[in-house]
Structure 1
Amino acid sequence: MQGQQLENFVSADDMEKAKAVWAQDIQREATQDPKYANWVREFGIYEDNSGVLRCRGRLQNAKLTFGQIHPVLLPANHPYTSLVVVRCHGIVGHNGVKETLTEVRSQHWIVRGRQVVRRLINQCTTCKRHEGPSYSTPEAQPLPQFRTTVDFPFTYTGVDFAGPLYVKDGNETRKAPNGKTFKAAAKSLEGLFTVEEVASRLADHGVRWTFNLEKAPWWGGFFERTLRCVKRCLKKILHLSKVTYEELLTTLLEIEAILNSRPLSYVSSEDMEEPLTPSHLIYGRRVLSCPMIDPDDVDLATVQRDDVLRRLVHIKQLTDHFWTRWQAEYLLELRNAHRKPKSASRGAEVGVGDIVVIHEDGVARGLWNLARVEKLLPSKDGQVRGAVVKHTTKGGRVTCLRRPLQRLYPVELGEHRESNTPDDVTSADSVVPAPVTQPSVPEPRASRAAATRANSLRQQLILQGRV
């Protein structure tokens, strides 16, 4: 029995002979490359006693191993070369390009080796899961019309929940509802909108509700930023104080006045006019500024029609002055905030079937859940900015989540990435195109079909946590 095991045992000498045979077969193809003559002159290529092509160089007197002094020549685009790089990448603990390339060059010399190593590391699923970037996103859309045109206050409003907030009720402390209440309220609203009387009233007033994508606060950036300012003021004003509901309401009203008195544009020491604030649109001045006229000095009984008309004209002039300053000082200055960064790295393009990890706040990246992209979510301009992903919870329940692309980090791209067409993009307003006759394509080779099945099986094992 032991003798039979020794007969099947592969020794180190057998491995070296096998490597020599593989190298000879690979290099036989490399010699047919048009650039081979340049390689011979550049690397000093010669054939050793085993028939393997090696690089000569000028390190013969260095205290290095034979493989380091005379590395085996490998072409850049051969599968065997990829296997060598992947093995060396695992030996160095999935470190970067420099470490992997150093390990590769201890035995082999790859033409354009740094490019090959960088490309294969970018495809490493382990590295992408722990360090890879999120999906690339389309360029930002133009600002919505209601943010760049003149309109009445509160024509468009944004609503969000913040919390939890604690209030004192006698000797007890109650906690106000937090963001989860918003989802419950959203479900109640959806049911309420189906009531005929409510739906009719909303339609008469032109009221429409639009919910932003989950975990994407930048989709409502201007009011999310205002909410952040409210939270900051609350933390600094209240800190750990316990207040009653009336005291909390008073504090929020004071914060409202503070935020409505904030400057909308850059404040310079050379500006003679009062800084432009949101309250100018309603009151014509900052809320926190003292009024110039004492209301007690005005006798309403003596007010004449001409006085009211003059006051109306004055208010109209103030409003027009506000919009003129708003366009000059605020709107045109937004271009500075919208400048693109000089060097922005772009990740992979999202596609149905991709394996991703879902970003979770407060959780180490190695513990993020794996998921599969099931559907793409386009925005109004037709660009994909979100996706529906399916993952399995710890309890074994399969759920679907809607997430923006910035919260999804690709681990493995789908096997049919090149065939992703607009048909993969679904939307409530999308129209199904008429079927188009496609030209016939040849049947895939048996090896390609086997590779496709193996890739699909590997993705299933990744989702089940076995890999």
Structure 2
Amino acid sequence: MAPIPIARLACFERPFTYTGVDYFGPILVNVGRHKEKRWGVLFTCLTLRAVHLEVAYKLDVSSCIMCLKNFMALRGTPREIFSDNGTNFKATEKLVKEELVKIDFDQIAVHYEAIKWRFNPPAAPHMGGAWERLLRTVKSFLKTICPSSNFNDETFRSALMEAEFIINSRPLTFVSLDTSDDEALTPNHLLLGSKAGYKPVSGNVADLRLRWHQTQSFADRFWKRWVKQYTPTLTRRSKWFTKRPPVGIGDIVIVVGDNLPRNL
């Protein structure tokens, strides 16, 4: 098995420093008496495994840039973006390089210049497994929230925000049955401060004066637990433990043709 990419092991970095992005849909929403297509845009932190969801009204470059701007306004500017070879992604990356966005967004263009866009090899969807699996999770939540998919623009965006919160509350590490142990790490621990985002306020005045010490050390404690408890699950080799001889003359094999239909 190949070694884990650097983007998956970038501890002590700001969330969404290394980001994977992909579209899913279309999903029909009610607009007046007719239906229109909407697409979901998933941004995932490759290190923290957190997600951020946006709504795209079209598949063109303008909509892609606006979704990227909305993401950057809330989560900051990523250092590297990973995606497939979609035409909207290729065109957006080209506009970023040519700095055409400076025509309307002079100050924002400075942030775009620092982004390095990496594309997966063509016809290799398995290279984007980090976000393809999360896309399936988002679709499952949307189907659970509204099985009939009878959304309008407002309810569709609300459903995406609900799915985002639930996914970011999922445990990354082992869930202990002992109540004395620390609760399992979740992406929300670094994004919101706790699994559910609730941060109790201490009634001790002396303690409040030292809260900034606790705030500074919280991220360090999170990343130390992340390194000790989460990274071993990434480096584990789940396949190919035993040595197997190479294919030889007389072995029975299955030949798969690239141009054959599915299931043949």
Q: Choose which of 189, 194, 207 in structure 2 pairs with 1:280.
A: 189
- Determine if contact 1:202/1:208 at 8 Å carries over to the other structure: no
1:390-445 alpha-carbon deviations (Å, 9 max, x no partner):
xxxxxxxxxxxxxxxxxxxxxxxxxxxxxxxxxxxxxxxxxxxxxxxxxxxxxxxx
**Aligned ranges for residues 424-435 of structure 1 at < 5 Å?**
none
Which residue of 147, 164, 174 corresponds with 2:8?
147
Larger Rg belongs to: 1
- What is the deviation of 1:194? 5.0
Matches within 5 A, 1:263-302: 263-270=171-178, 272-286=181-195, 288=196, 290-293=198-201
Q: Which 4+ stretches in 1 moved above 3 angstroms?
A: 177-182, 196-205, 335-339, 341-348, 363-366
Q: Secondary structure in 2 aligned to 1:316?
A: helix
What are the within-5 Å matches in structure 2 for residues 76-115 of structure 1? none
Which of 210, 217, 224 matches 1:317? 217
Which string of whole-angstrom CA distances, capped at 9 and with x for unpartnered residues, describes residues 288-307 of structure 1? 3544239xx9xxxxx99x95
Distance 2:167 2:40 in 1: 22
2:28 to 151, 161, 166: 166
* Unmatched segments (≥5 aa) in structure 1: 1-138, 298-302, 349-354, 367-467
Q: Deviations over 1:156-190 (max 9, x none)?
A: 11110001111111121212258994833134325
Determine if contact 1:284/1:315 at 8 Å carries over to the other structure. Answer: no
Task: Say if 2:73 is the partner of 1:212.
Answer: no
Q: Secondary structure at the residue paired with 2:86?
A: helix
Answer whether contact 2:93 2:117 (CA < 8 A) is retained. no
Aligned to 1:44: none
Kindly indicate whether residue 163 of structure 2 is the aligned counterpart of residue 255 of structure 1. yes
Pick closer, same or farther for the CA change 1:212–1:254 going to 2, 3 Å. same
Residue in structure 2 matched with residue 331 of structure 1 by the alignment: 231
Letter in 2 for 1:149: A
Please give the per-residue CA displacement for 1:304-355, whole angstroms capped at 9, x wherever unaligned: 9x956x222111221111111111111123344544354778779xxxxxx9
One-letter amino acid of the counterpart of residue 186, structure 1: F
Letter in structure 2 aligned against 1:233:
F
Q: Does 1:184 align with 2:87?
A: yes
Higher strand share: 2
If asked which structure has higher relative contact order (CA below 8 Å, sep 6+), I would say 2
Cα distance change, pair 187–318 in 1 and its aligned pair in 2 (3 A): closer
SS in 2 for 1:262: coil
Task: Give the superposed CA RMSD.
Answer: 3.6
Any idea what SS the aligned residue of 1:165 has? strand
| Residue 356 of structure 1, CA deviation | 7.5
- Displacement of 1:236: 1.8
What per-residue deviation string (whole Å, max 9, x for no partner) do you get for residues 81-134 of structure 1? xxxxxxxxxxxxxxxxxxxxxxxxxxxxxxxxxxxxxxxxxxxxxxxxxxxxxx
TM-score by length of 1: 0.39
Residues 332/217 of structure 1: CA separation in 2 closer, same or farther (3 Å cut): same
Q: How many residues align?
A: 209
Matches within 5 A, 1:338-353: 338-342=238-242
Q: Does the 8 Å CA contact 1:165/1:176 hold for their aligned counterparts?
A: yes
Deviation for aligned residue 1:215? 3.6
2:118 alignment partner, SS class: coil
Take 1:191 and 1:323, find their aligned partners in 2: how far apart are those partners?
A: 35
Quote the residue 1:156 is aligned against: 18
The aligned residue for residue 233 of structure 1 is: 141
SS in 1 for 2:178: coil
Q: Deviations over 1:338-395 (max 9, x none)?
A: 44354778779xxxxxx973267xx4454xxxxxxxxxxxxxxxxxxxxxxxxxxxxx
Q: Helix, strand or coil for the counterpart of 1:269?
A: coil
* Pair 1:337–1:255, CA change in 2 (3 A): farther
For the 8 Å contact 1:284–1:319, the answer to whether it is kept is no
- Separation in 2, partners of 1:283, 1:208: 27
What's the TM-score once normalised by structure 2's chain length? 0.65
Equivalent positions of 1:122-133 (< 5 A) are none
Letter in 2 for 1:152: R
In structure 1, what is the Cα distance between the partners aligned to 2:25 and 2:245? 35
Report SS of the residue matched to 2:119.
coil
Taking a change above 3 Å as real, the CA distance of residues 265 and 347 of structure 1, as seen in their structure-2 partners, is farther
CA separation of 1:214/1:234 partners in 2, compared to 1, >3 Å: closer, same or farther? farther
Counterparts of 1:377-416 in structure 2, within 5 Å, are: none
